[in-house]
A and B are shown apart, each in its own frame.
Chain A
């Protein structure tokens, strides 16, 4: 699963995170190629969010190494952060600021050139025109998710980390978001690493799936390969097989 670092957006080697005696992530290694979309799948406590947090630099690994866009994260955090972005329904934006104000602030933080035009593009693309001047607090959960996604695309990232990107969206809006992500990847060559519980989404978006259980990678492969390997017709069933299996 590990390949040469030069053409990789993410290279993780023997990554571990312990809290006292409890090990949340137990020596995982994987890579994500540039332009590739990879899913981290696993039940609650499998280590998905812990892994994403370490990749974002907001959680210090106990050991192991992370390289993003060819640079070691520990030494080059501030060279890497302007080139990546992140969205999660569990991290909010300032509630009393309007959609446009929020996007202006983050455009400033990410040093986006021609921020006005970029914000206008994203607002149109994510169907936020009607709520652009509305405070974030007054938006529905689905609208908030779209604003958060707009924030994550502001800097045209080379690597996008997505934590359940379409959670709380209705099927129509969820489908449009997935189309947007596909288009963005095709246009920009952005690599994506997403944690999701939506297997249809994973099947549609991802080139590769990494299955986590109790902080370890228990299997990986393309959705088609995993379906064939487990003799199942949907990733939901593969997920259940893996997450309910007794550890070896």
Chain B
């Protein structure tokens, strides 16, 4: 379905410095038995946030204000591992609108952008600087493809179509359905 256009995200930074945060950390597999959407906030980073006895622990994720800290600055190679779209769903449900990292895994990035979770891959120096800015305001501009923090600015590149979908609220399914004639021609060409 077409979604609300996303052009700018202003919020405070929340940082998770660890590199290689994989999708099993973002959402452990035992929460993948869901058949619905929109109820994964509790599962997000579950095993980082809860002790073995099921009680929330002192992890900073538990102290985060989901209203004001909606930009996650994460370590390198974020979202590696499985193709589970539950990972970006969980991050969105938990209240993140953007992830800034130095490198994100391919499938994660593609899944995230389809769900309005903006993934910004910035250069290493800016990444290091941003990791030191927990709690400070950051602005992600999807139109200019920039991240602004303090007096600094870093740039990132989104796949152009994914960017168009974000800023214009284009629905990729509708776009592909619009190519039905070409798909039918392709199928006919192969059958011949």
Q: Do A and B come from one complex?
A: no
B residues sitting closer than 8 Å to A (CB atoms) are none
